[in-house]
Amino acid sequence: MRLARLDSDYGLYALKKDGEVTLLQTVYVDDLLLMSPRQLCEEVAVSLQETFELTTVGMVKYLLGVEILINKTRKQIVYSQRQYVL
């Protein structure tokens, strides 16, 4: 497994296959978020557990106070901070 850090954000890593991003991993202090189809996330998590102690908590709803909305039909991930504007 070879994750490459993105130049645009040093806390964001990408796994590519045939030039296409297949997985994104965000890292902030001791929080880690994998974004990809479930099976690939599980495979990467198993690989990471060989080196690190991980706790899996399932689908993400919030990360660092930001609500994360996932629309699988539209293939969208939306970051929302609506609690700050209501």
pLDDT tens across 30-52, in order?
888 998 989 999 999 999 999 99
pLDDT, residue 63, reads 85
Sign of the four-CA dihedral 66, 44, 49, 9: negative
Query: So what's the pLDDT on residue 1?
Result: 67
Each residue's pLDDT expressed in tens, for the chain with a length of 86 residues: 689 999 998 899 999 999 899 999 998 888 889 989 899 999 999 999 999 999 888 888 998 888 999 898 998 888 899 888 87
Please report the pLDDT score of residue 16 as a whole number. Answer: 93
Q: How far is CA 71 from CA 8, 53, 75, 77, 79, in A?
A: 24, 30, 6, 6, 11
Per-residue DSSP letter, 46:
H
State the pLDDT at residue 4. 94
Buried/exposed code over 9-48 (b: 16+ C-beta within 10 A; e: otherwise): eeebbbbeeeeeeebbbbeeeeebbbbbeeeebeebeeeb
